[in-house]
Amino acid sequence: MRDEVEIGMGRTARRAYELDDIEIVPSRRTRTSQDVSMAWQIDAYRFDIPLVTHPTDAVVSPGTAVQIGELGGMGVLNAEGLWARHPNVDDALFRIVRAAEDTDDPTALIRVLQELHAAPIRMDLIGEAIKQIRDSGITVAVRVSPQHAVELTPDLLAAGVEILVVQGTIVSAEHVARDGEPLNLKRFISDLEVPVIAGGVGDYRTAMHLMRTGAAGVIVGYGHSAGVTSTDRVLGIGVPMATAIVDAAAARRDYLDETGGRYAHVIADGGVQVSGDIAKAIACGADAVMLGAPLSAASEAPGQGLYWTSAAAHPSLPRSRVAAGPDCAVDLRTLLFGPSMDADGVVNLFGALRRAMAKTGYSSLKEFQKVGLTIRG
């Protein structure tokens, strides 16, 4: 089927697909789970599972970042979130949780978040948080916004950051605004000695541009999750994830070709609700998935069962709600590796990925990116 649809006279739209629209189809040998490796490596850093956390305070504290690292994933702390602004984050979280319980005033939550994020970023606070992660021995990854990247990065690197994530809701290589001044991402990255992961993007061209800036990884998507983010409702903008991942993987392939061998990782951020979606994202070509809401079900999550992204704190146009995460109360290890006591895909997220790979006969993530797909007719 042609991928361009004429929606009216002289105007076409491209057909695009969400992860929900596709399914993996077994069509070869099966394999035992023990033979499957889920490992991947970005720059010098190797991870046992293709998990990068969405840099939301609802999921990533210095403590959970360490736990996730020890479990094989990459925990990304937000250098502009609550840990960067408040000496007593527990109090801030308490206010958020209490506002969520105030059912009389549905706007209370967003107002509290907006207020908490109006406090200034303090380098001493974020430095302390980074030190806590670094001391554990795991890889230290933090996120900055394009707006504050230039200002914050030197101190962050000095504090020991090993992977820098430059992430805004929608990022481009041509023009990333900083107080009206464009951030030249290419120059910014070439000046750094640590690998940079940048995004999110939604199309081939922007993914390609970001790869050409030297980014070690490109984030695809805006972290949208059902019931939480509303980019489509608010802005009319949408990035159907299956198509966006496939396109970014095409950019990765073309960039690999034009550079004669540089491999830019594709990290899928959005549309993942249950373990089956992780398998689908890898199947579409992602090297790793960025998880937010699915991790908010962990008993260790700072959000205590609530989930939001930083877009919820926007002072005039919030594009994320605070919502209850998936309902379960297990620790992070169980959430990632089981055992599960239900068949809803909420627990044993990466045990399920391993099994999906085994059931379709693949032993590595890179091979699994070629598994057969169907789409509901």
Show the site string, 150-169: x = touches a copy of itself by CB under 8 A, - = not.
-------------------x
Interface with a copy of itself, residue 23, by CB under 8 A: yes
Across the strands, what pairs with 141? Answer: 76, 163
The C-alpha atoms of residue 57 and residue 81 are separated, in whole angstroms, by: 6
Q: How far is the CB of 106 from a copy of itself (least distance, A)?
A: 7
- The Cα-based distances of 316 to 6, 114, 217, 319 in angstroms read 36, 9, 30, 10
Residue closer to a copy of itself (CB basis): 261 or 339: 339
Q: Is 28 in the site for a copy of itself (CB under 8 A)?
A: yes
Q: Which amino acid is at 257?
A: D
Residue closer to a copy of itself (CB basis): 12 or 41: 12
For residue 112, what are its two tokens? Answer: 């509290």
- Applying CB under 8 A, which of residues 11, 101, 104, 193 lies at the interface with a copy of itself? 11
Sign of the C-alpha dihedral, residues 140, 141, 146, 148? negative
- Binding to a copy of itself (CB under 8 A) within 248-307 occurs at 249-250, 253, 274-280, 283-285
Burial of 136 (0-12, 13-18, 19+ CB in 10 A): middle
Judged by CB under 8 A, which of 63, 127, 160, 361 binds a copy of itself?
A: 361
Strand partners, 323: 307
Residue 193 in contact with a copy of itself, rule: CB under 8 A: no
Q: Based on CB atoms, which residue is closest to a copy of itself, 122 or 321?
A: 321
1 lies in the binding site for a copy of itself (CB under 8 A): yes
Binding window for a copy of itself (CB under 8 A); candidates: 47-55, 87-95, 293-301, 357-365: 357-365
**Strand-pair category, 181-183 with 176-178:** antiparallel
Distance (Å, whole) CA 138 – CA 117: 28
The bridge status of strand 306-307 relative to strand 323-324 is antiparallel
Do 186 and 173 touch, CB atoms closer than 8 A? Answer: yes
Q: Which is nearer to a copy of itself, 139 or 334 (CB)?
A: 334
Cis check for the bond before 168: say yes or no (omega within 30 of 0).
Answer: no
Q: Which of 17, 40, 47, 362 binds a copy of itself (CB under 8 A)?
A: 17
Over the window 30 to 59, marking each residue x when it contacts a copy of itself by CB under 8 A and - when it does not, the resulting string is xxx-x-------------------------
> Is residue 40 classed as helix, strand or coil in its secondary structure?
strand
CB of 142 to a copy of itself, least distance (A): 22
Structure-block tokens of residue 81: 């979130």
Q: Residues 100-139 vs a copy of itself: string with x where CB under 8 A?
A: ------xx--xx----------------------------
Q: Does 315 bind a copy of itself (CB under 8 A)?
A: yes
Q: Is residue 245 involved in binding a copy of itself (CB under 8 A)?
A: yes
Quote the CA–CA distance of 346 and 326 in Å, as a whole number: 7
Residues that contact a copy of itself, how many (by CB under 8 A): 112
